[in-house]
Structure formats: structure tokens, C-alpha cells
Structure 1
Amino acid sequence: MTASNAPAIPDQTGRTAIVTGANSGLGLVTATELARHGAQVVLAVRNPAAGEQAARSIRSTAPGSAITVRRVDLASVASVRDFAARIAGEHERVDLLINNAGAQSLGTRRTTVDGHEFHLGTNMLGHFAMTGLLLPVLSKGRSPRVVSLSSITHRSAHLDFDDLQLERRFNPVRAYGASKLATTMFGLELDRRLRSADSPITSVLAHPGLSRSNFIDHAWKERGIIGQAMGRLFSLVATQPTEQGALPQLHAATAPGVRGGQFFGPRGAGERRGEVTEVHPSREAADPAAAQRLWSIAAVLTGVSYL
């Protein structure tokens, strides 16, 4: 499982990378390519058995690669704290954090163990907490970067701060889009704060367009046999291969000259597929006032304050 233009990735020897959700889909492709190019890669996964299977797959592609599997459940701040503490104990520095993991449900509203709306809690709040808790080891990295994974769905989404947890008006598609809007706002506000603090860390964003992976299959599975068939048809007709979808985040993570606050995605129509190019966030995602408000709320909800 390799990306089509993987040779363009610079040598990553000596760099330590953490990839969340690295056991499948975009995360597995990303972790594989980083390992193939010399990075020591930590697979941050909810299911250690699936993580070990992914590690074996990566080692078969990149013999001799340094792969470790560490458990983290992004839907639990306590689990994120345990993960960050373990990483800090095992690594003096981390050079790359790819906030790749994502959750999507097409069912009824549900919450994380901390009581947060499932999409917001997993996709944004979990990564917000992880990034803050790993900031000390990232600050010691060599040209360290944080890559946050957005989605084209953020463009049509809106954050209702009076109903951020969607307790009054829940819709699963709306919830996912809102969580990706929140993630985009987080990545851009992280860049502003890192710059203000004169930090060596670079915060960038990427989105995969519409990519073929088991992420879609899992989401549609909740709608039964007909839903699974619809999901497979959608993947076949509308999406690009996962290997292609991973290229924007690989570019954001490794390309020379990437600047804080840049956003990468496919260059094709609607940013659904195609080669990597710089794209732009929605107007709401780029609003500093809204991002600052979201940041303050996230700090309270997670109990993690930084920058």
C-alpha cells in the first residue's frame, strides 16, 4: 500500500512521527510511507490488535522499519493523558504529529465517555488534548510539525455555539461536518498561537477529498445491508484511491518549505480528487474570533490548557 508519488517524500531518517488512527485507511498509508522513508513511527490506535496487524503490514513493505503500537482512545481524555505520558517517557522528542484519526456515525446521537457529542469529542477535542499534552516533546523536535486532518465537509458546516454538542438539533451528517469545521479552526488557531509564542512547531492542515477507505464502509454499515450497498457504490463512483487521498497529509507533513497555516487538498473539481495543491478554508473556519471562542471551550471541556 504505497502512495503514487511517494518518492517525492524527503528522507525521514532520524525523525519520530505519531500517526493517530494508523491501523487502516489514510492513517495506514501515511504511516507506511513515513516508515518507508526512514521515520520511526508510533501507531496511535484504539485497538492494539489492529495496530499490531498494521505494524506487520508496514514491516512487510518496509523491512527493518521502526514501528511501535500504542493504545489511545481519542474519545476519552483520560486515555489521551495516559498516551501522552507514555510517549513523554519513551521519547525525548517528537518531530511529527499527524492528527489523522476520524470517526463518523450515521446513527443516532451518542456521546464519548466524557459526555461530549461523539464526533466533536473524537475528531476535535481528543486531538486538541493530545496536541497540548505532547507540546513539550514536540517543542524539542527537529522542525516539528502538527498536521490536522480536515474535510471538504467543513465548507458547508456551521458551529452553533449555543448548541455545540447538538443536543437540540442532531443530524449525523451535520455533526460530522461541524467536527471537521472545528478541527480546521483548531489547526489554524494553533498556528496563530504557535507563531505568537515564537514556537518552533508548525501547524498545517490537509484534507483527502473523497477517498476510498473503510472509513466510509464503517459509517454506512450502520444503515444495514442497503446502506452497505449504497456505501460501496458511492466509493466506486465518487472517490479516489486511499493512496491518493493520503498525499495531501503526506505533503503537509514532509514537503520542504511548508508554512504554518497552509492547507493542502486535491486540485480537482470540488477538491474531491486529484493531485495535491494548496487550498483555502471556509470563511467561518478562518474567523479568528470564532476560533478563539472554540479554543476556550475546548480547554474547559478537556481540562487541557496551553498556549
Structure 2
Amino acid sequence: METGQRRTALVTGTGGIGFEVARALHSKGWAILLAGRDNERGTAACDRIAAEPGDGRVHFVPLDLANLASVANLANLLKAREQRLDVLVNNAGVTAGPVRQSTSDGFESQIGTNYLGHFALTGQLLPLLTRSSAPRVVSVTSLSSKSGVLDFEDFTMETRYNPIQAYSRSKLALLTFSLELQRRSLEQGWRVLSCAAHPGLSPTGILRGAIPSEGRRGAIQKLYKWIGHPPAAAAGSVVFAASSDEAEGGLQYGPSGLFGTKGKPKSVGVNKHARDLEAARRLWSMSQDLTGSPFP
């Protein structure tokens, strides 16, 4: 990262890991654009961050990743308003229950929000990223990507829906995309460093959509608190991937301790399916078709 110039980062997701990543980058003096669906919640998060030490600006920007029109609106707004974007953190995510839910574009909600929305956002912000002298895209994955499978015949689970598999697939797709973006960046001369990061386990609100029962969800949160780490620590691998000079493209970073559930950041392995070059190209092509070809 160059010195003497304030970095600008767009972080998706106003709570949990997204909030902590924005908070940590703001403390480094970065300018932060925090994106989310809820204006009131997002503005409150920005106010909390702005009240802490750090001289960078922090602003909320509206974004619904489950709506491709909203993704396009934000990209157009930023391209008109910002001189450049240095770092994009594709973090926001949802979980869902036993009944298949759809985005406004008809995709299964987890795949549509966690992956396809971020794919479209990255592509549409590419012109803004390439104005930076050292652009970077960090895609936030999950331990669950290890159990994910990319079924191209029923990618958005229109015929065979399983909520756990849908979430794992969305995170595997995001990881595969991150690696393919690095390859294409090198081939096309985009100069974008693309890497992935997962937070391990942390008691955030990510389970709210999958487990409506407060009692059951609370029990799982207690387990995550015991074997995982707090959100501020869990954000460490993402912050490292977004800001460290030691972070490299085409890698995934995650916690170093207790089977990847907690600990300091380090480079970690990836699902063998994410390293499948043919599958990565097929996923890219399918994603272009589904989202209206946001990449050149």
C-alpha cells in the first residue's frame, strides 16, 4: 500500500464482521464507505465508527445485494462521486431457513446475495478500482466452503433446495471467484490483487435467517463464543487481507488456531473444487450470464 495518500475502502455489511472490518480500517486513517440495506442501522454504525479515533471519513451507502438494480445504482453513484476505489471488501452475507427464498431477480437468496450480488458489484466497480495505484478485492468466505459443491445443472437450487448446502455453495462460489478474479486480473492487466479471507467462527448475527428460534440460536452462539473468537478478532484475517503489504493475490487467509476457528491470520488452504480451473471458468461464464455481464 502506498503511503501519504488516504485509502478508500467499500465494505459490504453494516454489522458483525463488516462493522469490525470498517472500524479497523478507519482506525488506520482510511476513508470508509459502509454499504447495507438498512439506512437507520447503517447510519448508526457509521456514527459509532466516526466517534472513535481515526481521521478518515466514514459514510453509509445503500446497497441491497439481493437486487441487481440496487447493485447497479450504487456502482453508478460511486463512479460519479468517487475519484477511485482502493479496496472492495465483499463481506455481507445471509443465511436462510428450510423454505427456499428468492431474491428480487429470482435467485436462491443465499447464492444470490452472498455470491451473485458481489460478483456483479465487483464487475461494475472495476473501472473505479483500476483508477487506484494498488487496487484490491477481498472476498469473505467461510469454513463452510470446504463442504460446498458447485452443481451447475441446478446452481440456484430451483429443484433441489437445501439451506445448508446453499450457504456452503455460495461461499465456495465466492472463493472460486476470488481465485479466478486474480487470474483474469493478471491476464487482462487490471492490476487488481484479489484474495479471500474467512473469519473462523464468531458469535455474529449471521445465523438469524437460518435459525428463527432465539433459544436454539443462542445455544449455537454460545458454542461459537467458546470455540471461536469475538467479532473484532474474527475480522482480523479480513483486515489483514485488505490492508497488509504481506497479503498476496490468489490466496485465502484465515485464523491460525483450533482448526481454523480462531487465532491470528495466516494463509490457509482452499477447497479442491475452488482450484478447479475448468469449474472456475464455467462459474465465471454462468455468473456473467445470470448477472448481465458486469465484467468486460
User: What is the rounded CA distance, in whole Å, between the counterparts of 1:136 and 1:108 in structure 2?
Assistant: 38
Which amino acid counterpart does residue 176 of structure 1 have in structure 2?
Y
Which amino acid counterpart does residue 120 of structure 1 have in structure 2?
I
Which amino acid counterpart does residue 31 of structure 2 have in structure 1?
Q
Which residue does the alignment assign to 1:83? 74
Pairwise CA distance, 1:130: 0.4
Pairwise CA distance, 1:280: 1.5
User: What is the rounded CA distance, in whole Å, between the counterparts of 1:288 and 1:12 in structure 2?
Assistant: 39
With normalisation by structure 2, the TM-score equals 0.95
Q: Of the candidates 216, 224, 236, which is equivalent to residue 247 of structure 1? A: 236
Pairwise CA distance, 1:64: 4.4
Q: Of the candidates 244, 249, 261, which is equivalent to residue 250 of structure 2? A: 261
Which residue does the alignment assign to 1:74? 65
CA contact (8 A) 2:203 2:222 kept: no
Alignment CA distance shift 1:198-1:65 (3 Å): closer
Q: What does the per-residue CA deviation read over 1:140-163, in whole Å, with 9 as the maximum and x for residues that have no partner?
A: 113110000111111111111111
Q: Of the candidates 155, 160, 164, which is equivalent to residue 164 of structure 1? A: 155
Alignment CA distance shift 1:260-1:12 (3 Å): farther
Which residue does the alignment assign to 2:209? 219
CA contact (8 A) 2:20 2:235 kept: yes
User: What is the rounded CA distance, in whole Å, between the counterparts of 2:129 and 2:218 in structure 1?
Assistant: 43
CA contact (8 A) 2:32 2:58 kept: yes
User: What is the rounded CA distance, in whole Å, between the counterparts of 1:63 and 1:181 in structure 2?
Assistant: 35
Alignment CA distance shift 1:233-1:212 (3 Å): closer
Matched residue pairs, number?
Answer: 296
Pairwise CA distance, 1:101: 0.6
Which residue does the alignment assign to 1:292? 281
Which residue does the alignment assign to 2:185? 194
Pairwise CA distance, 1:165: 1.3
Given the alignment of the two structures, is residue 149 of structure 1 paired with residue 140 of structure 2, yes or no? yes
- Where in structure 2 are the equivalents of 1:1-307 lying within 5 Å? 14-21=6-13, 23-62=14-53, 64-216=55-207, 218-219=208-209, 221-222=211-212, 224-307=213-296
CA contact (8 A) 1:10 1:254 kept: no
Pairwise CA distance, 1:233: 3.0
Q: Helix, strand or coil for the counterpart of 2:9?
A: strand
Identical amino acids, percent of aligned pairs: 36
Alignment CA distance shift 1:215-1:13 (3 Å): farther
User: What is the rounded CA distance, in whole Å, between the counterparts of 2:62 and 2:288 in structure 1?
Assistant: 23
Alignment CA distance shift 1:263-1:54 (3 Å): same
Q: What does the per-residue CA deviation read over 1:77-126, in whole Å, with 9 as the maximum and x for residues that have no partner?
A: 10000000000011011101000111111331111000001111001100
Q: Helix, strand or coil for the counterpart of 1:259?
A: coil
Which amino acid counterpart does residue 283 of structure 1 have in structure 2?
K
With normalisation by structure 1, the TM-score equals 0.92
What are structure 1's unaligned runs of at least 5 residues? 1-8
CA contact (8 A) 1:95 1:138 kept: yes
Pairwise CA distance, 1:306: 1.7
Alignment CA distance shift 1:296-1:64 (3 Å): same
Pairwise CA distance, 1:238: 2.9
What are structure 2's unaligned runs of at least 5 residues? none
Which amino acid counterpart does residue 264 of structure 1 have in structure 2?
Y
Pairwise CA distance, 1:62: 2.6
CA contact (8 A) 2:29 2:55 kept: no
